[in-house]
Amino acid sequence: MSTVNSPTSVWVRRPARWVITRRSYAAATRSRGGGRLGRVPELPEVETIRRDLEPLVLGRTVAGVEVDPGTIDLLTDLPIDGLRAGLVGRRFVSLGRRGKYLLFGMDDGRTFVTHLRMTGRLVWREADDPAIDYERGRIALDGGHELRWSDLRKFGTWDIVEDTAEVVGKLGPEPLDEEFTAAFLRKLLAGRTAPVKAVLLDQRRIAGLGNIYVDEALYQARIRPDTAAGEVSRGAAARLHVACREVLERGIENRGASFSDYVDARGEEGRQHMYVQVFRRDGKPCYACGAEIVRSVVGGRGTHFCPRCQRRPRRRRSATS
């Protein structure tokens, strides 16, 4: 099951949003040739931060909120005073996760929602610790500790919502949820002409998977990423179902992958990047067969695979056949 531990959503109105962004996130982060300037933290990274912070923030009351003056002009809809009014004096009663969102449940029934986007970091510090690199904001808690927000490219988001469904309600099930079964995945892939990788990356269909773990899951399942989803056989879909779950479990066990900006809530790098099979290993030999790992572009995303282990299907077969 997913790790959404916040109270059941029963609210009906969503207040304005505080968004740290100046231009289109998707456009700004896309580089030539389908590459990315950075890597968005995925389910294992966000879950690692959640597990780190949960025992530290539960029961704590917000004592103050600070935002870097150079960031204030990036706020939209909700002014900094409105953000302070929504947080100061509130006590955190739960910390959940849905997809790549962190959900801080508060004692007034509302939820403080954060998304790291590409370069966001959320770390736990003593109040008198020096500022961290690219620090944009602080949430001071009782007891002399702070949540520090660092964001080089300023794409991260902070929301205060009454109804979490308006933020995460359109997300699909997560691969670690009970409802993510082999039958569910076969049905999702069946009849679709889009590349299987693009389908797996669609957060409305499956939440939490991103570029690294999709590449790794497709490699483990021996499926070429640009294969049309509807051409994935029943057997391959079964392998993919297992692979999606296992790559995420390994990622969580290894505290996430630190290819670029990701650090955990303690400010430390994860270990999963040391164990990847294909992601960002283009030009290097496949661990299984020795063939050179290839980098291509699938659905506008940089993609890594082994051309020998992940061959195109010999014949078209539906995932439901």
**41 assigned to active site:** yes
Contact 91, 45 (CB under 8 A): no
Distance of alpha carbon 257 from its chain centroid, rounded? 12
Of all helices (H) and strands (E), which one includes residue 166?
Answer: helix 165-168
- Nearest CA to 6 out of 111, 83, 160 is that of 111
Take residue 134 and report the two structure tokens written for it: 């690219």
**Nearest-10 Cα torsion for 200, 250, 176, 40:** -50
Measure the CA–CA gap between 158 and 67, rounded to whole angstroms: 12
The H-assigned helical ranges of 73-157 are 80-87
Catalytic residue of the set 39, 224, 255, 301: 301
CA atoms within 13 A on the CB side of 242: 10
Catalytic residue of the set 39, 41, 44, 239: 41
Catalytic residue of the set 39, 90, 97, 100: 100
Pairing type for strands 120-126 and 101-106 reads unpaired
Q: What angle do CA 239, 243, 249 make, to 5 degrees?
A: 155
Measure the CA–CA gap between 199 and 189, rounded to whole angstroms: 8
Report the chain's terminal Cα–Cα distance, integer Å: 28
**42 assigned to active site:** yes
Contact 261, 38 (CB under 8 A): yes
**174 assigned to active site:** no
**100 assigned to active site:** yes
CB contact set of 9 (below 8 Å; sequence gap of 6+): 163, 164, 165, 169
Could you list the active site residues? 41-42, 100, 301
